[in-house]
Amino acid sequence: MNHIKLFEELNIGEPQIGDWVICKDLVQNDALSDGIVSLNKFLEKNIGRFIRLPNDNDINMQSIKKKYKYMIQYDNVPYEFEEDFHFGEPRDNDCRIMRREEILFWSKDKKDLDPFITANKYNL
């Protein structure tokens, strides 16, 4: 019964700064190249944190700013994805901008997302 209560507390409202998130890159997923599949595996098997809204240093095109509203920071980003996780100021290395529809789950408590990481890890 613990998991039923857990799922009731996920995805309430919109993600807020400080929330923990699990994402998937939907735009690049259409290409289905090996690199994109690997990137999505990394995103789906790791919990990131919504640290701030992107600013003018991160995105310079207004059309993109309207869609990409979430700056997500990850720990231990593999070297192969370094180019995909560098936005804005140097302190924002290991960050990626995401659209709302790319954020699959979010919660104030990182532990709430652990069952999803475990399920993805073991293909459950």
Give me the tens of pLDDT residue by residue for the chain, a chain 124 residues long.
455 445 556 787 899 999 999 999 886 544 556 666 788 889 999 999 999 888 766 666 566 667 888 999 999 898 888 888 876 655 567 888 899 999 999 999 999 999 989 988 787 6
The pLDDT score that the predictor gives to residue 124 is 66
Q: What is the pTM of this model?
A: 0.80
Q: How far, in Å, are 70, 107, 114 from residue 97 at the CA level? A: 5, 18, 22
Per the listing, tokens 């659209």 go with 99
Rg over alpha carbons for the chain, rounded to the nearest Å, is 14
Whether 86 contacts 58, CB under 8 Å = no
Whether 113 contacts 107, CB under 8 Å = yes
Q: Rounded CA gap, 112 and 14, in Å? A: 16
